[in-house]
Amino acid sequence: MTDIIEKTIEQDYKYGFVTNIEQETLPPGLSKDVIRTISKRKNEPKWLLDWRIKAYNHWLNMEEPDWAKVEYESINYQKISYFSAPKKKELKSLDEVDPELLRTYDKLGIPLEEQKLLAGVAVDAVFDSVSIATTFKDELEKYGVIFMPFSKAVHKYPELIKTYLGSVVPYTDNYFAALNSAVFSDGSFVYIPKGVRCPMELSTYFRINAQNTGQFERTLIVADNDSNVSYLEGCTAPQRDENQLHAAVVELVAHKNATIKYSTVQNWYPGDPKTGKGGIYNFVTKRGICKGDHSKISWTQVETGSAVTWKYPSCILKGNHSIGEFYSVAMANHHQQADTGTKMVHIGTNTKSTIISKGISAGKGQNTYRGEVKMMKGAENARNFSQCDSILIGDECGAHTFPYIDVRNPTAQMEHEATTSNIGEDQLFYCNQRGISTEDAVSMIVNGFCKDVFAELPMEFAMEAQKLMEISLEGSVG
């Protein structure tokens, strides 16, 4: 079966291409001047610039974390360019969009025109750092839903941004969150008013394009009392030789009775299959707070890309009876390294959390689940269920599980289950004997393994996720 492994290794990253569009890019380097320039370009109010500068000053005194089970060449932050935007801006219709850019979307399989027709998905397409087009605006406006580029929201809804920015992930939180706070380029802002069930899935496609350009997205979603929203995030990136840093911050706030569902399918360039060089560093801070009673936040992620992943979408369960969920499929093939998991902090009474993590390791991939469940003193009758399963394909990869448990209330209940298994030769032979090729068998077995998580994804994403798994897995059998 070694020849099959080699075949996989030789497979190119299918979304590896570069769009040739004129970019307006700042020269590499990070300083207060650079931050001022970014802020000025975006015509930001003073309070935001001040916040950025505070974050930067804080970041200067921090150390890059090294506790994750990942290894990578150290990042030279002075070699990264912190702002890049396509030159034409503020387009009124798709006709004005650079045709080259539209072709990029076509290659990615997300033509905007088609998106409009598809199942009511509104797309706020972020190309590099500046939003190009927003669709379905009118429909959302009718319900009072705010869904717009972050940079616009700063001007239009400064009070909301002021109230919530950094309220879940303060700039002091960690090294990469501080960096993001200092230099964030753009992102999305969502506000769902009281009692509104958002009429469509909200979706944003991020894409890293310019060489050496760090991508620092900022997403903020606020769901007011009794509201409901489902947000989809999906990413692919073109092939590049030098490492690209991505340090996004996502903050979710769920008020009383509100539900936020946040789904991610991530397929950034994982690096050269033979050497592991050139892939994306994905150092993301995602956290949500269930502020009100009976609120709910649900994270679902399918992570198939990036060279190094450092990501722990978490929930702070503050409201009584609030619910946190984390469903994850993480895949590490070739030289990929993933250290991912979640943190559930139970503060309110009768809070409940569920963690379902499926790790797939293939090639020389290293996959780590790292999760913490914390039951605070006041978390009467809190409950957690965790299930962490790993599957190994071949004998050069690794799966690691680090569950941290901290219970300070005697009425709290926790359950933790973990399994690790190999894709068995028996299973493969059984499929082969039924005429199913080894590649199809592996993808079938892995998709079966991930089923519980895929079931949590919105329909259109579930299909995409399965396709991604197939692409990432083709032939990775040992």
Closest separation in Å from C-beta 244 to another protein: 34
Among 24, 372, 380, 440, binds another protein (CB under 8 A): 440
The answer to whether residue 281 forms part of the interface with another protein (CB under 8 A) is no
Distance CA 147, CA 139 (A): 11
Distance CA 425, CA 431 (A): 10
Q: Quick one: which segment of 62-70, 110-118, 216-224, 431-439 binds another protein (CB under 8 A)?
A: 431-439
Among 3, 63, 90, 426, binds another protein (CB under 8 A): 426
**Residue number, 46 or 434, with CB nearest to another protein:** 434
The answer to whether residue 451 forms part of the interface with another protein (CB under 8 A) is yes
**Cα Dmax for the chain:** 68
**Residue number, 24 or 452, with CB nearest to another protein:** 452
The answer to whether residue 435 forms part of the interface with another protein (CB under 8 A) is yes
How many residues are recorded in the chain?
A: 478
DSSP 215: B
Residue 260: exposure state from Cβ atoms within 10 A (0-12, 13-18, ≥19) = buried
Size of the site for another protein (CB under 8 A): 22
Distance CA 124, CA 120 (A): 13
Question: Contact 220/165 with Cβ under 8 angstroms?
Answer: yes
Closest separation in Å from C-beta 262 to another protein: 24
User: Which amino acid type is present at position 119?
Assistant: A
Question: Contact 202/230 with Cβ under 8 angstroms?
Answer: yes
Distance CA 71, CA 337 (A): 8
**Residue number, 250 or 428, with CB nearest to another protein:** 428
Q: Quick one: which segment of 38-46, 256-264, 330-338, 448-456 binds another protein (CB under 8 A)?
A: 448-456
Closest separation in Å from C-beta 447 to another protein: 7
**3-state DSSP call for residue 15?**
coil
Which one, of 289, 42, 291, 48, lies nearest residue 158 by Cα? 48
Closest separation in Å from C-beta 444 to another protein: 6
The answer to whether residue 302 forms part of the interface with another protein (CB under 8 A) is no
Q: Quick one: which segment of 29-37, 102-110, 293-301, 450-458 binds another protein (CB under 8 A)?
A: 450-458
**Residue number, 49 or 444, with CB nearest to another protein:** 444
The answer to whether residue 466 forms part of the interface with another protein (CB under 8 A) is no
Closest separation in Å from C-beta 424 to another protein: 7
**Residue number, 413 or 432, with CB nearest to another protein:** 432
Strands 202-206 and 228-236: parallel
Distance CA 153, CA 189 (A): 7
Which DSSP string corresponds to 392-408?
EESSS-EEEEEEEEEE-
The answer to whether residue 434 forms part of the interface with another protein (CB under 8 A) is yes
Distance CA 356, CA 344 (A): 12
The answer to whether residue 417 forms part of the interface with another protein (CB under 8 A) is no
The answer to whether residue 447 forms part of the interface with another protein (CB under 8 A) is yes
The answer to whether residue 445 forms part of the interface with another protein (CB under 8 A) is yes
